[in-house]
Amino acid sequence: MTGANTAINLSVFGIFVLLTLYIVYRASTRNVSASDYYAAGSSFTGTQNGIALSGDFLSAASFLGISGAIAVNGYDGFMYSIGWVVAWLIGLMLISERLRNTGRFTMGDVMAFRMRQRPVRAAAANATLVISLFYMIAQMAGAGGLMALLLDVHSAVGQAIIIAVVGIVMVLYVLVGGMKGTTWVQIIKAVMLILCVTLMTIFLIGKFGFDVSAMLDRATQKSPLGEAVLSPGVKYGGSGLSKIDFISLALALLLGTASLPHVLMRFYTVPNAREARKSVVWATWMVAIFYSCTLVIGFGAMALVGTEKITSAPGGENSAAPLLAFQVGGTVLLGIVCAVAFATILAVVAGLTLTASASFAHDVYANVIKHGEADPRDEVRVARITAVCVGVLAIVGGIAANGQNVAFLVALAFALAASANLPTLLYSMFWKRFNTRGTLWSMYGGLTSCVLLIAFSPAISGSKSSVFPDADFAFFPLSNPGIVAIPLSFLAGFLGTILSKEPADPAKQSEMEVRGLTGIGSGLR
């Protein structure tokens, strides 16, 4: 897959980048105030934002990682798809409307609403930065692997250059376009991605005479595992411990989605709670269609390309979808699929950069350092500088993590989000007594326990697929820490609250509850 192929890939990709940069530039002419930069002036409709939400959420991990995981592990890869669809119900019913009504720009706005501002905002910013960086590094690592396959770049230096280019383009999106530009990038990308997977799915099912059973039958013949790929347990069925790992993964997927900082921040780009709800409805439809398609694409790749060919390809598991595209549509379809995958990485990383920079500028700079009295222009300037710093960190991290399994790395970011943010958000919205100490304990408790458990897990050391395969300091046996860290964070929040003598502020609690449900006092209509 070289020569003319590379030219097609590069030109499709180049056209996408130029087109989106132009749109970002056009969208951004009046991009001056903090509200414009962080929340696009809350001017998007629910439908637009819903499509952008799905764009922000459907990362390279979803497209390349999941179709690959299904193509290699069958049923156990399918688990990711289910968790990531069902999770949107939490966002819909518990989070989106209340978040829109109580906050302005960041997750910290909501968490600090009825607490002492500075410590809580600092904690929220810390969590946002750690989660975003983790997620971003996973995406950047995916970009490296994808390029290995697409452009036939095999040298470490070549891949590092590509990762750096991705990083620079995404920082450009954020600097030039702010939230408005980034949202348009997400919308374009989401539409491209959904069209691409839907058409591929229809084509694949058609190839098997619209008979899913026949496709699965063929897939089992092409997999070294045979019939077993259609049943649970290929990857996680070995021992009692790996079953717990499976449950842990399932929990992190379910509870992490609606607490990812870049997903939460999207709810501020719409004018009111009704539009926020509509966003989630749209996003749920897009996500449901997408993941139903990944099932067909994954098993289709198993049937038509074969598991062995996928695992031995340069990008490993991540190459299933591109290889399938090449098989059914030749170089042109491969070029399109790759460009879509690349656009996906670019857009998601831009969304994360924006979130991380907003969190630092709005929560840390404006509220912790300047005590809430920063000049909005300075705040935006700080946000832009942060975006550049975050971009550099992500490039360095991405180069270091190059070659890791993307879906797996992302699942760790979900575990972090689920344990640091979800308990805090739920407690602060639904538990009257919850106070500042409880907030800090649940956030830092969840975040640090999760980071430590990851550091001492088989994901980092002690096995062949670890980041450091030669060292072994894996004291913690599970590769996903969710099942321990999430309950721990709930417990920490509870204990912190009841052990603190400081009572919750009842006036603020009334305000938050009334405002959360009705929007009274938020100035939203």
Binding stretches for other proteins (CB under 8 A): 75, 78-79, 81-83, 85-86, 88-90, 92-94, 211-214, 216-217, 220, 227, 230-233, 236-237, 243, 246-247, 250, 254, 274, 277-278, 280-281, 284-285, 288, 291-292, 295, 506-507, 510-511, 513-515, 517-521, 523, 525
CB of 84 closer than 8 Å to CB of 291: yes
- Of residues 58 and 179, the one with the C-beta less far from other proteins: 58
- Of residues 54 and 359, the one with the C-beta less far from other proteins: 54
Q: Cα angle at 413 between 412 and 419, to 5 degrees? A: 90
CB of 177 closer than 8 Å to CB of 28: yes
Cβ at position 288, least distance to other proteins in Å: 5
Q: Can you tell me the distance from the alpha carbon of 165 to that of 28, in angstroms, rounded to the nearest whole number?
A: 22
Cβ at position 105, least distance to other proteins in Å: 19
Q: Can you tell me the distance from the alpha carbon of 48 to that of 134, in angstroms, rounded to the nearest whole number?
A: 27
Diameter over CA atoms, the chain? 70
Cβ at position 429, least distance to other proteins in Å: 12
CB of 418 closer than 8 Å to CB of 253: no
- Of residues 147 and 287, the one with the C-beta less far from other proteins: 287
Cβ at position 17, least distance to other proteins in Å: 33
Cβ at position 437, least distance to other proteins in Å: 22
- Of residues 177 and 519, the one with the C-beta less far from other proteins: 519
Cβ at position 344, least distance to other proteins in Å: 21
In a 3-state reduction of DSSP, which class is residue 486? helix
* Rg (the chain; Cα; Å): 22
* Nearest one of 71, 286, 91 to 191, comparing CA atoms: 286
Q: Can you tell me the distance from the alpha carbon of 139 to that of 61, in angstroms, rounded to the nearest whole number?
A: 7
- Of residues 65 and 83, the one with the C-beta less far from other proteins: 83
Which residue's structure tokens are 């383009």?
169
* Nearest one of 46, 90, 39 to 273, comparing CA atoms: 46
Cβ at position 508, least distance to other proteins in Å: 8
- Of residues 251 and 374, the one with the C-beta less far from other proteins: 251
- Of residues 174 and 286, the one with the C-beta less far from other proteins: 286
φ/ψ of 470, rounded to 5, equals -85, -25
- Of residues 126 and 284, the one with the C-beta less far from other proteins: 284
Which residues sit opposite 468 in a β-bridge? 461
CB of 137 closer than 8 Å to CB of 404: no
Which residue's structure tokens are 């990038």?
185
486 φ/ψ sector (left φ>0, alpha ψ -120 to 50, else beta): alpha
- DSSP for 184-226? HHHHHHHHHHHHHHHHHHHHHHHHTTT-HHHHHHHHHHHSTTG
Cβ at position 514, least distance to other proteins in Å: 5
- Of residues 180 and 278, the one with the C-beta less far from other proteins: 278
- Of residues 218 and 309, the one with the C-beta less far from other proteins: 218
Number of H-type helices and E-type strands within the chain: 23, 0
Cβ at position 263, least distance to other proteins in Å: 16
Cβ at position 209, least distance to other proteins in Å: 12
